Amino acid sequence: MASDADRRITLDELRELADFMRENELTELAIEESKDTRSVRLRRGEAFIPQAAVSPSGQLSQATTPVDADSAEDEPLELVRSPMVGTFYRGARPGEPPFVEVGDRVRDGDVLCIVEAMKLMNHIEAEFDAEIVEILADNATPIEFGEPLFRVRRV
């Protein structure tokens, strides 16, 4: 049985990606693979969509978007958005504690959640040190590409 690192995109998965791109008016898909990482870049017209990097273990980083919000601190809040369509999971397995709770401080690289896509469990990691201000998605629910998952404050 091949490992995740050896897994290649099948023709059916490529067709599914093409359908996804059409539905979301995306014009470019670039996949780059090296020994340690796989990166995916999507483009819609002239504007870039956040880039995500996937390691062979399935770990995935995601882009964040600044959010205007009143807060007790002067630091602006940012949204962590889903880098893919899938199912959002707060913990590694049913019955296990969530990776993060509101008020938790996370470090760059800490796992925030899992997004299951095409039967692959993708760990969504923090891209910087932050405090979890709000969890925006419900556990075990479908999510869309770009959907806000967390509201965070850089620390």
Count how many domains the chain has.
1
Q: What is the pLDDT of residues 84-111, one digit of tens each?
A: 999 999 999 988 999 999 999 999 999 9
Q: What is the pLDDT of residues 49-98, one digit of tens each?
A: 344 444 444 444 444 445 544 444 566 899 999 999 999 999 999 889 99
Question: What is the CATH classification number for the domain harbouring 150?
Answer: 2.40.50.100
Place of tokens 């509201």: 151
Residue range(s) defining the domain that contains residue 33? 4-154
Lowest mean pLDDT among 34-48, 61-75, 120-134, 138-152: 61-75
Q: What is the pLDDT of residues 20-53, one digit of tens each?
A: 877 877 777 767 677 777 767 776 654 333 444 4
pTM over 0.85: no
